[in-house]
Structure 1
């Protein structure tokens, strides 16, 4: 497989491909730093399974984990998320520009048709 992105961006997208990991990222975004136990609470899986998902997110640079006594606390890491957002935004701008150009072309075509045959469009 050809990889067109830098490895860290590939890791981030691979990590975010999983719905559980996207849920964990969304939960951290809405609630801020949290313990692994608190993150695992609402999920229908073991603490160990949640911890494995967090390791994938951590390796991709999307979260950071720190020990606070006996607890492991997890928080979002902005740098990798920013890289993902920038990559997506490039393509969003690309498609918005293309669609704007298509809309302008269609408007010009409609005006040209109306100009060349105004009677047909007055009905």
Structure 2
């Protein structure tokens, strides 16, 4: 259980970093994360090969959902399916909110209002 919790927290930390990178104007901006101890080094190397933060974010969301499902199937977390689906819904809502924030940074404000 503790290993799952640490892995989930670290993936969420990296996801937060990547999400902030998608809405910043500086492409090489560094945001602090938890240490990556316990995460698969080859997976992190694969993630580093993706230069587009949007792709990295989608990959991380998929990884997070996968470890949650595996933990539920293996009995590491005892959670009913409606509650499990709600956790996925919350991750999805965060992704939608980030997309809206990214749209505000990418779509220029109408010139007459400036």
Tell me, yes or no, whether TM beats 0.5. no
Point out which structure has higher relative CO (alpha carbons under 8 A, 6+ apart).
2
Bigger Cα Rg: 1
Normalised by the length of structure 1, the TM-score is 0.30
